[in-house]
Amino acid sequence: MIVLSHFQANPLLQAMKKGQDRVKTSLDLGLSSASLCLEQEQLRFPDGQSLTRDQLAEIADNELVCYRIVGSQIEKIQFFSETFNRFYSLMPTHGAPTMLISGIPMHRIKGTDPHQDTLSKIKAVTPVTGTVLDTTMGLGYTAIAAAQTAVSVTTIELDPTVVEIRRLNPWSQTLFTQPNLHRRIGDAYDEVTTFPDSHFSRIIHDPPTFSLAGHLYSTDFYRQLYRILSARGRLFHYIGDPDSKSGRGTTRGVVRRLQEAGFRRVKPYRQAFGVIATK
């Protein structure tokens, strides 16, 4: 799988312009590096595929989407979900890519990047040990990070179209190979009812915004999270910028409803834009 973004395409075009015959780049959005042959008007990949200067220029011009290379053609990594009537695309950053859901980034990218954003969510419930629930999979970054120290991680995703994007994201590949990672497709609201009492030692709840998934912010849902969390187990709940008007209001409501559901030591955890709580 070869995936490129403007972060690779721009320097490649520069190298072509300068007449270089070899160039160092990354074919997996910065995870590893590769040395490629450059010809005057063509970039050659180790697997025999090639791209023209025009194709590279098209990738370089688009800062919002990553491209995969298939049969020497470029294809945007974006899909329309018929079920949910939304557009999903893989958006490059200088580190791990994020996903745009109808134009809204799925991770924090202002002053941070999706990888750092993930680490701050994980830190909120460190040490991440035992059995972990990641309520919403997305690109799988929180699940992958949790699986490094947990015994097992279960992660849930509502929209199969997200899975298509994830399959094409080099940074999500461990999700398909890590043996202690279990994936489910479904609505987290329903899926949580299927787990036994006190099953998880940690829960990472990283839902879409309140306006897109209000039921994942409801007292009923929080009661289920409380039921399936073990005694002294810990929850991290992502909410959004605590300094924005909507973030402030949502945080107040979340804290109140988590307390109603039985959680204690419910407090904002500003560094990860969320709230932490204990059973």
Ligand X SMILES: C[S@@+](CC[C@H](N)C(=O)[O-])C[C@H]1O[C@@H](n2cnc3c(N)ncnc32)[C@H](O)[C@@H]1O
| Residues within the interface to ligand X (CB under 6 A) | 106, 118, 136, 138-142, 156-159, 162, 187-189, 206, 208, 213, 216
DSSP state of 194: G
Count other C-beta atoms under 10 Å from residue 256's C-beta.
Answer: 12
Minimum separation from the CB atom of position 215 to ligand X (A): 7
What CA–CA distance (Å, rounded) separates 228 from 133?
A: 9
Minimum separation from the CB atom of position 13 to ligand X (A): 30
Please say whether the beta carbons of 63 and 70 come within 8 A: no
Among residues 60 and 275, whose Cβ is nearest to ligand X?
275
Among residues 7 and 217, whose Cβ is nearest to ligand X?
217
What CA–CA distance (Å, rounded) separates 32 from 27?
A: 7
Among residues 113 and 159, whose Cβ is nearest to ligand X?
159
DSSP state of 139: T
| CA distances from residue 154 to 141, 165, 186, 203, 230 in whole angstroms, order as listed | 13, 19, 12, 10, 15
What CA–CA distance (Å, rounded) separates 240 from 179?
A: 31
Among residues 37 and 213, whose Cβ is nearest to ligand X?
213
Residues 6+ apart with CB under 8 A from 27: 2, 3, 4, 8, 34, 45
Among residues 38 and 122, whose Cβ is nearest to ligand X?
122
Which spans in the chain are helix H?
A: 6-18, 53-61, 114-123, 141-147, 160-167, 188-191, 219-228, 245-260
Among residues 192 and 258, whose Cβ is nearest to ligand X?
192
Minimum separation from the CB atom of position 81 to ligand X (A): 9
In the bound state, the residue with its beta carbon closest to ligand X is: 138
Minimum separation from the CB atom of position 240 to ligand X (A): 10
What CA–CA distance (Å, rounded) separates 77 from 87?
A: 11
Closest CA to 174 of 145, 134, 201, 133: 145
Count other C-beta atoms under 10 Å from residue 150's C-beta.
Answer: 22
